[in-house]
Amino acid sequence: MRKWLKVIMTIFVVLVVLFMGASAFIGLQVFVGSTQLVTNKETKEVSDVFWIENNMNYESFCSAYKVEELQIASSFDDHIIPADYIYAIESQNSKDYQTVVLVHGLGGNRYSNYPLAEFFLKEGYNVITYDQRSSNENTARYTTFGYWEKYDLIDWVNYVEEQAPGQKIGIWGASFGGATTGLASGYEGVDEKVDFLILDCPVSSMEWMVEQEMRNMDVGIPVSYMKWCGNIINKLKLDFNYQDADVANAMKNVKTPVLIINSKLDSLTPCFMGNDIYDAIQGENKEIWTVDDSLHCEIWTDYNPEYCDRMKSFLSKYK
């Protein structure tokens, strides 16, 4: 009897060890796949085609506006946050002026925000457009769907507040940058420093994005198990769970006026993500504009005149 008990216990221990080993291996693969989504090399600068498609000339833009390269040290992680500080003509090259911080999406960099920068400059705002983690010249290692990225954004908000005390501060963020914007605004009273938020096709849930990526892989392993493994490794390595990077939950008490822009045809950050954020916000200072037929983050191109009018109306309403 004791011999059979020993055999059973041995088999049980072996199975537990195998399960733990397999879970750890799967968890590490999920972790790497979800936190190293882009590289600095992949997101370096932008192509000539980008400027042509956006009807912009980089040299002419830099002749029209003073562009100052800046970098600040992250208060959270051991990296530098590079940015371009662009002065509105009305500011007379002073940082003590109303300012908008632009937050690009995954795969972009600070230059990919230049079309939006031009809009805000014409509206009389100074602009900071910076490289998010693991993008272009920002060498921070991990991408975290806005959770760690929010600290870089908060550092820039604090920089603006120091340079321009009492002046209006706004944030525009797209896609992955929308998640960064939402999570930052809901963190320890940051929304009290910011006068308006604009979220274009925002990511609302790291958990959903990770799960969707695993579904697309179709490796024959239950998605719920892979997500569970990845979440454990994520917590062990980065000290937060997927659920902690929930933008709708983070923004539920935000009082800052918010404009959300999304599309019913967007399959990358489906329409429900923007709707979830909008519904979660308790205050009345919120607006949402949904189009029917634009792909992810293409609303600026497809509906440019209306996009500009919507933002002008929003900015005017909350002056």
Q: What is the pLDDT along the chain (319 residues), one digit of tens a residue?
A: 577 676 666 666 666 566 677 788 899 999 999 999 999 999 999 999 999 999 999 999 999 999 999 999 999 998 999 999 999 999 999 999 999 999 999 999 999 999 999 999 999 999 999 999 999 999 999 999 999 999 999 999 999 999 999 999 999 999 999 999 999 999 999 999 999 999 999 999 999 999 998 888 777 899 999 999 999 999 999 999 999 999 999 999 999 999 999 999 999 999 999 999 999 999 889 999 999 999 999 999 999 999 999 999 999 998 7
Contact 195, 170 (CB under 8 A): yes
Residues 117 and 239 in one domain: no
Cα–Cα distance between 166 and 188 in angstroms, integer?
19
Do 139 and 99 reside in the same domain of the chain? Answer: yes
Q: Identify whether residues 31 and 51 lie together within a single domain.
A: no
16 with 146, same domain?
A: no
Residue 319: per-residue pLDDT: 72
Do 1 and 85 belong together in one domain? no
Which range of residues forms the domain containing residue 19?
1-35+206-243
Reading phi first (left if > 0) and then psi (alpha if -120 to 50, else beta), residue 220 is in left
How many C-alpha atoms does 128 have within 13 Å on its Cβ side?
30
Q: pTM for the full model? A: 0.94
Which tokens hold the place of 281?
């916000």
Last residue of a domain, one of 190, 215, 243: 243
Q: Select from 286, 210, 284, 213 the least CA-distant residue to 246.
A: 210
Tell me, yes or no, whether 159 and 213 share the same domain.
no
User: Amino acid identity, residue 41?
Assistant: K
Q: Which CATH number fits the domain that encloses residue 251?
A: 3.40.50.1820
How far apart CA 181 and CA 117 sit, in angstroms, is: 16
pLDDT at 16: 59
Of 142, 196, 178, 167, which Cα lies nearest the Cα of 317? Answer: 196
Task: Please give the C-alpha separations between residue 220 and each of 16, 29, 216, 319, in angstroms, as whole numbers.
Answer: 21, 15, 11, 53
Among the candidates 216, 243, 270, a domain finishes at 243
218 plus 185 within the same structural domain = no
Q: Are residues 198 and 256 in the same domain?
A: yes
Q: Are residues 62 and 210 in the same domain?
A: no
Q: Which residue has the tokens 């822009």?
A: 261
How many domains does the chain contain in total?
A: 2
Which H/E stretch holds residue 168? none
- CA 297-299-305 angle, 5° bins: 145
- Same-domain pairing of 253 and 293: yes
Distance between CA 139 and CA 135 in Å, rounded? 7
Q: What is the pLDDT of residue 7?
A: 63
CA distances from 174 to 28, 41, 233, 237 (A): 28, 21, 28, 27
For residues 210 and 181, membership in a common domain is answered with: no
Question: Helix (H, G, I), strand (E, B), or coil: what is residue 83?
Answer: strand
CB atoms within 10 A of CB 247: 29
8 Ramachandran zone, left/alpha/beta (phi>0; psi -120 to 50): alpha
Answer with the one of 180, 214, 243 that is the final residue of a domain.
Answer: 243
Residue 142 has what DSSP assignment?
A: -
* Residue 212 vs residues 2, 14, 62, 169, 175: alpha-carbon distances, Å: 48, 32, 40, 34, 15
Q: Are residues 135 and 213 in the same domain?
A: no
Which pLDDT score is estimated for 295? 98
